[in-house]
Amino acid sequence: MKNTELQTFSSIKNALETASRVCIVPHENPDGDAIGSALGLGQVLKNQGKEVAVVPVNEYPEFLKWFSADVPVLIYEKDKKAAKAALFDADVLVCVDFNEEKRAGHLQKMIHKYDKTKILIDHHPYPTQFCDHTVSETQYSSTAELVVDVLAQTEMSSYIDTKAAEALYTGILTDTGGFSHNTSKNTFRVVSELLEYGIDTDKIQSAVFHNFSADRMKLLGYCLNQKMVVFPEYRAAYISLTKADLEQFNFKPGDTEGFVNYPLSINNIVFSALFIEKEEYVKASFRSIGNFPANAFSHDNFNGGGHLNAAGGESELNFEETIQKFTQLLPQYKHQLLDTEI
């Protein structure tokens, strides 16, 4: 690990060893890596005899609800009292898969107020210092891959079991789009280590990628057929979904996961956006291939950030204005988009 000093690992080891209760917080709208790293680490700590709770601020996708890890997941929006108690009662708070407090949504203030030991394990660029001990390694494919190496550094690997390995493998699988991007030699080394625990990768593949509702598949068809706008002259495309679109297809959290990637399968398209109308804002997702920086685009225009090729943000403009803003921005990025090397 490039950025983390050995001292940080011994501090983390010490903090976790002496803790009886640990709370693990993933980012808002948790994805496979956020939930997988939280449950994987949680299971390891549970196996060590600790009381563990995973506290996401909001609901996570249906296709991530098959894990065998037996760590309670207390969703703040569903049970504020229980989630808050689990957070403040913990001796150590571990934040996973995010790089700034505001990515925890309505848990931001509580994380800030929490005055015992805070640990961050994350792989996003531009980390902020909001924890006592930070492991931030951007060359990792996923936080789950990083958790496996942190467990080795803190001499906790012996507590990994099949349940933990399954969750950690899923984090890597989802954040790399099924091992299709951001992988390294280390990714496959870690994966092969996780396979030693006898996880059923065929079962995980089906559970994650072949587990959609018919409504979700129809929504995808509708997006590609009616809601995708392609700008070959800018090598860009976007898909937009209103609340009414989502209602029509009985939207459930996670249903639009991965939609933003589809336009990138079009020949010569290097930048893709997905806009989803929420109650109070418009959620934006950006994906790119090659060296076009989706994170800088999101940071500079949509209050967001993320990785070079996968970023997200938010817009306070109304839905139509948000789309208009995006399309009007494309000419400014024309040279960069046309020069993108893939």
Which residues are near ligand 5GP by CB under 6 A? Answer: 27, 31, 103, 285, 304-307, 310-314
Tell me the CA distances in angstroms from 89 to 16, 17, 126, 227, one per residue in order.
15, 17, 30, 46
Query: Crossing angle, helix 201-209 and helix 162-175, to 10 degrees?
Result: 50
Q: Does 97 bind Mn ion (CB under 5 A)?
A: yes
Closest to Mn ion by CB, 151 vs 323, is 151
Least distance (Å) between residue 141 CB and Mn ion: 8
Terminal CA-to-CA distance of the chain, rounded, Å? 27
Binding track over 127-146 against Mn ion, x by CB under 5 A: ---------------xx---
Closest to Mn ion by CB, 143 vs 315, is 143
Least distance (Å) between residue 31 CB and ligand 5GP: 6
- Hey, what amino acid is at 265? S
Ranked by CB distance to ligand 5GP, the top (closest) residue is 312
Q: Radius of gyration of the chain from Cα atoms? A: 20
Least distance (Å) between residue 42 CB and ligand 5GP: 19
278 φ/ψ angles, rounded to the nearest 5 degrees: -110, 180
Q: Does 122 bind Mn ion (CB under 5 A)?
A: no
Report the alpha-carbon distance of residue 136 to residue 125 in Å, rounded: 8
Q: Take residue 62 and report the two structure tokens written for it.
A: 């249906």
Which residue stretch of 33-41, 105-113, 281-289, 312-320 sits at the interface with Mn ion (rule: CB under 5 A)?
A: 33-41
- The neighbour count for residue 341, using CB atoms within 10 Å, is 8
Among 33, 137, 149, 257, binds Mn ion (CB under 5 A): 33
277 interface partner picked from Mn ion, ligand 5GP, none, CB below 5 to 8 A per type:
none
Q: Does 100 bind Mn ion (CB under 5 A)?
A: no
Least distance (Å) between residue 48 CB and ligand 5GP: 28
Question: Residues 6 or more apart from 322 whose CB is under 8 A from it?
Answer: 275, 282, 284, 315
Taking a C-beta distance cutoff of 8 angstroms, is the pair 29, 61 a contact? no
Closest to ligand 5GP by CB, 193 vs 314, is 314
Report the alpha-carbon distance of residue 284 to residue 274 in Å, rounded: 6
40 interface partner picked from ligand 5GP, Mn ion, none, CB below 5 to 8 A per type:
none
Closest to ligand 5GP by CB, 42 vs 254, is 254
Name the residues that contact Mn ion, by CB under 5 A.
33, 97, 142-143, 175
